[in-house]
Amino acid sequence: MSEVRTPENSSAATAEFECPLSHGQRALWFLNRLAPSSSAFNVIFAARILSPIDPSGLRRAFQSLLDRHAALRTTYFERDGEPGQRIHRGLSVDFNQTDVANWTDQALYDRLAVETRRPFDLEHGPVLRVNLFSRSATEHFLALTIHHIAIDGWSLWICLDELKILYSAEKAGTKAALPPPVWQYPDYIRWQQQMIGGPEGQKLWAYWQEKLAGEIPSLNLPTDRPRPPMQTFRGASHFFKLDEVLTKKLKSIAQAQRTTPFTVLLTAYLALLYRYTGQEEILVGSPSSGRQRTELEGIVGYCVNPLVLRGNLGGNPPFRDLLNRVRETVLDAFEQQAYPFPLLVDRLQPNRDTSRSPLFQVMFVFQKPQRLEREGISSFILGDSKARVNLGELVLEPLPFPIQQEGQFELTLNFVESGAAFLGSFDYNTDLFEAGTMVRMELHLRRLLEGIAADPGRRVGDLPLLSEDERRQC
């Protein structure tokens, strides 16, 4: 396999060459081999366009994105038992436009679901698909689907931000004012390899080895159905909103405790899981950007790295004390975020249960887009019906129905800050949980948060959780 080439010794934006996979990509590649028909790792951006558009200009704008970013024109192969990737030049964007003027809403939504859930062929590509459905001159539906091996959330914001500039330039017939990327994804791989093999990698490994020493407990959430013998990825989402009054109170607690809303909401999540399971030690995954260096900030590719956050609820502590514990855990973990999670699993060799993901089974995500925040992308992410995003003359709103992505974990709690409120969702595995369970879980979380807002000094085991009817049934 050839050496990774960098901007100093090759034209990474145009050259066709092969290189190894990053540790994160390797993990996704193996999971794809186990379930090639799954769409669990499809990253989806879907929107209704409420403006006249130039379909040819939009196609050229997406083509420019492919030309700019190596990860979007890559295919994957296996040679002598080892996976590799081949970056292509001159690859045409997979862009399809369909006239749906005479389609019913249900027919359109069914087709959108099919297109966004269609699995990718990583060997032959492409890894990015664009579907444009046109109903009238001022109403279109855009579905952008990319395999996770080629992109992460940060990269998606980069692509959308650049699409705004590229499309505006296409419509105006001018050259887009975008400088070439400083680094391409192969440069990230080279940096990761050098970091792991050097003193920094040894230091990071020592930290995580100590933090995850001893028995790694699995989270035993009560489920609606028996756990399948093999982990599955079928999933759905339940969306909700915390009102502005409660949001303000939670922010005030964060400020008073010299921490962030991320840490307050994560601590509440740990408290909720503790109340459901009675387990005093709970491991939760949370994504880090994996972009500590300035050169990494503009890369499109899979750089995100899950962190293992080990919560200790021993002694039924007051919420405020638990918050202080979690704050220190979060600060330490994010300082050590560069060590690849898949390599951590390989080196720790935890007891493997094929019905569960290793090290942690639940996730917590507080999304904070690095770009497009002025355009209101946070509200858009979780489907706020009032959200509007303007991408270079493309006026977008969330689709009137949710595009469901499959569940990579048993349960994920997501939050984004939208104006003066927090929007949230529970992503859940439908082989384990019923939709009604997520409705009750939202109500439990809401009561818990209201109890925290009223008295953050109350012990986590005493915080309100159940409704009057549920208490009578106990």
Q: Please spell the DSSP secondary structure of 42-93, one letter per residue.
A: EEEEEEEE-S---HHHHHHHHHHHHHH-GGGGEEEEEETTEEEEEE-SSPPP
**Domain with 241 in it:** 190-376+404-473
Pick the closest to residue 140 from 108, 182, 178 (CA basis).
Answer: 108
**DSSP state, residue 99:** E
Between the two ends of the chain, the Cα-to-Cα distance in Å is 62
> Tokens 């992460």 label which residue?
152
Would 395 be classed as within a structural domain?
A: no
Within this chain, do residues 166 and 196 fall inside the same structural domain, yes or no?
no
The CA distance from 43 to 408, in Å, is 12
Alpha-carbon gap, residue 123 to 23, rounded angstroms: 18
Check residue 235 and give its pLDDT: 87
Q: 157 in a domain, yes or no? A: yes
Asked if 439 contacts 391 with a C-beta cutoff of 8 angstroms, the reply is no
CATH assignment at residue 315: 3.30.559.30
pLDDT digits over 56-73, tens only? 999 999 999 999 999 999
- Picking from 162, 186, 210, the residue at the C-terminal end of a domain is 186
Residue 424 falls inside a structural domain: yes
Domain shared by 136 and 217, yes or no: no
The CATH number of residue 56's host domain is 3.30.559.10
The fraction of the chain above a pLDDT of 90, given in percent, is 76
Note whether residue 345 is domain-resident: yes
Predicted structure pTM score:
0.90
Same domain, 454 and 408: yes
pLDDT of amino acid 402: 62
- Residues 260, 113 share a domain: no
Residue position matching structure tokens 């081949």: 86
Does 354 lie in the same domain as 320?
yes
The list of the chain residues with pLDDT below 70 reads 1-15, 369-379, 381-385, 400-407, 472, 474
Predicted pLDDT of residue 417:
86
Residues 150 and 205 in one domain: no
207 shares its domain with 328: yes
Return the beta strands (E) in 313-432 as ranges.
Answer: 362-367, 389-391, 394-397, 411-418, 421-429
401 by DSSP, 3-state: which? Answer: coil
- pLDDT recorded at residue 373: 53
Q: Identify each DSSP E strand in 126-183 by its residue range.
A: 128-136, 139-147
> Would 158 be classed as within a structural domain?
yes
Together in a domain, 181 and 210:
no
Domain ends where: 137, 154, 186?
186
Q: Provide the domain count of the chain.
A: 2
Residue 6 lies inside a defined structural domain of this protein: no
